[in-house]
Structure formats: C-alpha cells, structure tokens
C-alpha cells in the first residue's frame, strides 16, 4: 500500500506543500519518493487552486492508495496573522482533491499522528525525519497511514 503524507508550510509570501510517499508497513517503511509543490500566485484562492491542480495530477500519476494531510496543531495563543487562515484554506483545497481521488483520506494534527503511531508527537516527528530529513511532518503523516503489521 502506497501512502502520501502532505504538510503545508507558509513562507512569508506563499505556501509550500511537502509530500512524501511511503510503502510497506509502519515497522518497515520504504520511502518511494518525495516532492514539494509551489505556486507563483500571490492571492490565496489562486494558490489553493494551483496547488490543488498540481496535487491532483501527482495523485493520478503515482498510484497512491491513502493520504494523510498533516494539519496545524492548536495554537496556545491566538494569532491575527493571515498565514494560519491561509494555511487552512490550502489544506481544505488539498483535502478536497485527495478525497475526490482516494477513498482513504485523513486529516491529523501532529499530536494525532503520534497517537496513531503509539508515540508522542516529538517521537513521531523524529520517525518522520528518519525517513525524510527535510519533510519530517509529511513523512510522519504518511507513516501513520501504513498498516501496523
């Protein structure tokens, strides 16, 4: 079973979508590939559309069975910054594309990924970093969709 983990990060102007593909089991995962999706658009709705189209093309070509979108954990302090709201819009667009192409799609916070893997959030991130040094959140998300056996 091939799984894809997806994590959105916000740069000062634009989002970057990190993706990691894993195969195997949680105890013996194999990294199939990884890539980043980027957009040149400045307007958040155009960014969402552009990134969603890119992801849709990738999902069609890669033969993915399941997806986990790593969403933001709950912030301890509220923020008036636009970035968290824009990230939510991007994650929603990506979730819609995944669900339109795949039957197994989950959205999970870092804490939820850790719970699914039976470990803490920091240990889950560390497990993801062992699979892909630059895309740890996406890798741990993909790992959480693999079967335990």
DSSP per-residue letters across 3-34: EEEEEEEE-SSSEEEEEEEEEEBSSSEEEEEE
Nearest to 138 by CA among 70, 44, 72, 79: 70
Q: Which domains does the chain have, with CATH numbers?
A: 3-145 (3.30.420.10)
> What does the pLDDT read at residue 79?
72
The answer to whether residues 27 and 130 touch, using CB atoms and an 8 Å cutoff, is no
pLDDT tens digits in sequence order for the chain, 149 residues long = 999 999 999 988 899 999 999 999 999 999 999 999 999 999 999 999 999 999 999 999 999 999 999 998 876 776 778 888 899 999 999 999 999 999 999 999 999 999 999 999 999 999 999 999 999 999 999 999 999 87
β-strand pairing of 104-108 with 29-38: unpaired
> What does the pLDDT read at residue 73?
83
> What does the pLDDT read at residue 72?
87
The answer to whether residues 95 and 69 touch, using CB atoms and an 8 Å cutoff, is yes
């Amino acid at each position: 079973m091939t799984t894809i983990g997806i994590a959105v990060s916000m740069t000062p102007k634009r989002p970057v979508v990190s993706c990691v593909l894993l195969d195997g089991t949680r105890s013996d995962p194999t990294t199939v590939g990884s890539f980043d999706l980027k957009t040149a658009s400045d307007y958040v709705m155009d960014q969402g559309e552009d990134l969603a189209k890119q992801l849709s093309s990738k999902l069609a070509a890669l033969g993915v069975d399941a997806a986990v979108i790593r969403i933001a954990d709950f912030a301890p302090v509220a923020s008036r910054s636009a970035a968290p709201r824009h990230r939510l819009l991007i994650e929603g667009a990506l979730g819609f594309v995944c669900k339109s192409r795949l039957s197994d799609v989950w959205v999970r916070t870092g804490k939820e990924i850790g719970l699914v893997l039976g470990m803490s959030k920091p240990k889950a991130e560390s497990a993801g970093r062992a699979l892909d040094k630059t895309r740890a959140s996406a890798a741990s998300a993909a790992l959480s969709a693999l079967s335990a056996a």
